[in-house]
Structure 1
Amino acid sequence: MKPDWDALSADFADSKTVIIADVDCTAGGKPLCEKYGVRGYPTIKYFNPPDEEGEDYKGGRTLADLKKFATNELGPGCSVDTLDNCTEEQKTKLQEYIDMPAEERATMLESLKTELKEAESKHEALLKELQSTYKSSMDSLEKLKDESAPKIKLLKAATPAPPKEAEPETKDEV
């Protein structure tokens, strides 16, 4: 993936709205990775203003996939400061939020963040449970294979081969 990432970075090197960057989470970038919840390599995060928390990229990892995403999805998004980038539907919803009292907006935002965090925690717990169940099942299967293999071999060895049928005589035609 690294060559594709580097090619993407080169493609957007002159962009004023899209920045492609690497962070080494094992060295000086560790605090940054911790701040944004990066736990493994390669993790791709993207930020669209005014988003300051970033989102996990879940798309394809080829240069074509990355380039398509960067071209179509990155850059200034819909916000109060960039209304020209908004669809009519987004403008309507944005106006609804603008008209909402600031405290209500903040409460709604925190509620959504909490709901998302709880769902992610439940998802992670389920993943760990499934991994544990899978490992247990795999261990049981391997044990059964190990125990069964010698028996299967001996059972096959103890079973005489079926007698070969005599091949019919062939006559030469004159």
Structure 2
Amino acid sequence: MKFAPSSCSVLFAAAASTVAVVSAIELSPANYDAETSGKTVFLKFFAPWCGHCKKLKPDWDVLMAEFADSSTALVADVDCTADGKPLCDENGVRGYPTLKWGDPTDLQDYQGGRSLDELRKFATDNLKPTCSVKNIDLCDSTKKGQIEKFMTMDMSELKNLVEAEEKKISDAEEGFKAEVAELQAKYTKLNEDKDKTIAEVKGGGLGLMKSVVKFKESSNDAAKDEL
């Protein structure tokens, strides 16, 4: 049976879309450890209503399908409005879509382009075993030293250290918000002062002054012409 080129294109696109949907994995706390174990991950944290998320979805679905059979890499979704919300909160997701990658226990922000070619190249180049607690042999001397140091620490001491470091981040974020709010208030006040000054100047007769200046200048010019 022969198909017109347009029909083939439609069927191919539909088939690719079906494969991508079937291959999609959506992570939540319930399956996170099992699905990510032993893998380097590339995750899209999203909200279904987000316009940018909808735009990215077709290419991301293709990428998930391409890596579906990998034993060392995982490309997956995390719905921040559903079962995946705790993962979004845990990883400090504040905007959608947010892309993160790396060791499942130490995700890093993805800063690259978001076309399918750019995402595919990044995934191909980077979704491979990397330095981690489970892959300490892949770490440089600095990272290896840090891991070994933390491994020798008492659990309560280590948890206290984690809390202290996380507090530094939250304090920095709160400080940033406070400073931005202060700057916003200052901007609003300066803008109001500017508008008030402009209104007072204009209300004080600036327009009339300028009109008189023009009138006098034109009168003087006319008088000179008569001479």
Which residue pairs with 2:105 in the alignment? 51
The structure-2 alpha-carbon separation of the partners of 1:58 and 1:48, relative to structure 1 and needing over 3 Å to count, comes to closer
State how far apart, in whole Å, the 2-side matches of 1:140 and 1:69 are.
53
Pairing partner for 1:123 from 176, 199, 213: 176
Question: What amino acid does structure 1 have at the position aligned with 2:119?
Answer: K
Confirm whether residue 83 of structure 1 aligns to residue 136 of structure 2: yes
Question: Per-residue deviation at 1:84?
Answer: 4.4
Instruction: Output the aligned Cα RMSD.
Output: 4.0
Alignment of 1:110 with 2:163, yes or no, is yes
Give the C-alpha shift of residue 45 in structure 1.
5.1
CA distance in structure 2 between the aligned counterparts of 1:90 and 1:146, rounded to whole angstroms: 62
**Runs (5+) with no aligned partner, structure 2:** 1-51
Distance 1:2 1:124, change over 3 A: same
Deviates more, 1:138-147 or 1:107-116: 138-147
Structure 2 CA distance for partners of 1:83 and 1:123, relative to 1, 3 Å: same
TM-score by length of 1: 0.63
* Separation (CA, whole Å) in 2 of partners of 1:33 and 1:142: 47
Bigger RCO of structures 1 and 2 (CA < 8 A, at least 6 apart): 2
Deviation at 1:91, TM superposition (A): 1.3
- Name the stretch that deviates more: 12-21 or 2-11: 2-11
Which of 19, 23, 35 is residue 75 of structure 2 equivalent to?
A: 19
Establish whether residue 155 from structure 1 lines up as the match of residue 174 from structure 2. Answer: no
Distance verdict in 2 for CA 1:33–1:50, change over 3 Å: closer
Which protein has the bigger strand share? 2
Q: Which amino acid aligns with 1:5?
A: L
Q: Percent identity?
A: 17
Aligned length: 160
Aligned equivalent of 2:89, options 35, 50, 63: 35
CA pair 35-4 structure 1, distance change in 2 beyond 3 A: same
Task: Give CA-to-partner distance per residue, 1:59-111, whole Å, 9 cap, x none.
Answer: 466549x7399546666553221224422321122112222232322221111
AA aligned to 1:9 is W
Q: Is the 8 A contact 2:130 2:139 kept in 1?
A: yes
Please point out which of 102, 114, 119 is paired with 1:67.
119
Unpaired segments ≥5 residues, structure 1:
167-174
> Is 2:150 the counterpart of 1:94?
no
Aligned equivalents of 2:135 and 2:183: distance in 1? 44
What is residue 133 of structure 1 aligned with on the other side? 186
How far off is 1:48 after superposition?
Answer: 3.7
